[in-house]
Structure 1
Amino acid sequence: MIVALLNQKGGVGKTTLALHLAGEWALHGKRVTLVDADPQGSALDWSQQRARENVSRLFGVVGLARDTLHREAPEIARTADHVVIDGPPRVAGLMRSALLAADLVLIPVQPSPLDGWASAEMLALLREARIYRPELAARFVLNRCGARTVIARETAETLAEHDPPVLASTVGQRVAFADAAQSGRLVFELAEQSAAAREIAALAAEVARIAP
């Protein structure tokens, strides 16, 4: 299964979610490779920080920020149970290649009307990809939100009426994610029973259930 986290808007938490989904699946015994397709290389930086901290490797991270990704990712998938693609912001050719590579696209958005509007270009690329890959599945992921806030609830209700739909699982705005990233770790490694770790576990389980 190849899962791509994509949104042309930056700062929505693609890398954080990609790393944590990969880590959660690896924790449960899956063979996972994370493909860093963002020219900024944030996932690679995280992996290097983890090595400097002498923390054991959970999954492999490879850099493939090029528009041949749709040909290379399936080759990587031959030796992995899950391939997670951390996609680029606003690089149309690379975004199209990631869409053609994926079995499932996750579109992280924050609970804000502005994020919904910014996703319009992403959805246009998704529709274009489905001309060639009509079976391509996609979901919105509500990220960096306060689950009990009015705007989070309204954003979820708005997205529920759209295609693609929104996942039931949400991920909160939590300092635990920043604390973990600084040391090349994941939230469940800092506190296994934390709210952040429980949210990631629920998200990974839901994604695994809907994956084609």
Structure 2
Amino acid sequence: MIVMLANQKGGVGKTTLALHLAGAWARNGQRVTLIDADPQGSALDWSQQRAREGLPRLFGVVGLARDTLHREAPELARDVDHLIIDGPPRIASLMRSGLLASDLVLIPVQPSPLDGWASAEMLTLLREARIYRPQLAARFLLNRCGARTVIARETAETLADHDPPVLATTIGQRVAFADAPQTGRLAFEIDAASPAAREIAVLVDEIDRLRIGRIVA
């Protein structure tokens, strides 16, 4: 399955989520490659930090910030169980290419009046991609949620009847996620019993139950 983390708005936690999804699937014994399609190269920076810390490689990280993703990603996906694309902000041609390559698009949004909706441009790009890939699935994902906040509940309720729908799993505002870029470690490596690690495990389980892929759409 090819999963893209995408939102035209920056700062919504795409890279952190992409890294943790890749790590969780790899921990479950699956072959995973992460494509860093963001010109900022944050996922590549994380991989390099991990190497400097002498930590074992969990999954491959490849820099591929160009608008040929729709041709190159499916080739890379042949050798793995999951290919994850950390998408770029504000680069329409690169975003279009990533969407055309993907089976599932996750759109992280934060629970606030400003972030409760993906940008109109993002949804337009998604509709355009579905002309060529009608089987392309998409889900909103509530990220950086405060514990039991009213605004998180209201955002989830707002998105409940929306297209794309919202995943049931929500991801909290956790110190372990903030520490990942600096340490080269993922939440489950810091503390496998932490709320951050448990939330990612639940998220992976929900995505797996969607049964989305090249054959089962």
Give 2:167's aligned residue: 167
Give the drift of 1:121: 1.5
- 2:116 counterpart SS class: helix
| Overall identity of the aligned pairs, in % | 81
Return closer, same or farther for 1:112/1:36 CA change in 2, 3 Å cut-off: same
Give the drift of 1:175: 1.1
User: 2:148 is aligned with what amino acid?
Assistant: R
Give 1:207's aligned residue: 207
Q: Check whether the contact 1:180–1:190 (CA below 8 A) recurs between aligned residues.
A: no
Moved beyond 6 Å, runs of 4+: none
Give 1:185's aligned residue: 185
In 2, the alpha carbon distance for the partners of 1:4 and 1:26 equals 17
1:100 aligns with 2:100: yes
Give 1:122's aligned residue: 122
1:138 aligns with 2:138: yes
Q: Check whether the contact 2:177–2:186 (CA below 8 A) recurs between aligned residues.
A: yes
RMSD across aligned positions (CA): 0.8
Give the drift of 1:77: 0.4
Deviations 1:123-180 (A, max 9, x none): 1110010011111000000000014100000000001110000000010011111123
1:54 aligns with 2:54: yes
User: 2:36 is aligned with what amino acid?
Assistant: D
Q: Check whether the contact 2:5–2:108 (CA below 8 A) recurs between aligned residues.
A: yes
Q: TM-score, normalised by structure 1?
A: 0.98
Aligned counterparts, 1:33-112, within 5 A: 33-112=33-112
Paired positions, count: 212
Give the drift of 1:34: 0.2
Q: Which runs of 5+ in 1 are unaligned?
A: none
In 2, the alpha carbon distance for the partners of 1:117 and 1:172 equals 18
In 1, the alpha carbon distance for the partners of 2:156 and 2:117 equals 14
In 1, the alpha carbon distance for the partners of 2:204 and 2:39 equals 25
Give the drift of 1:118: 4.5
Q: Check whether the contact 2:111–2:144 (CA below 8 A) recurs between aligned residues.
A: yes
Moved more, 67-76 or 173-182: 173-182
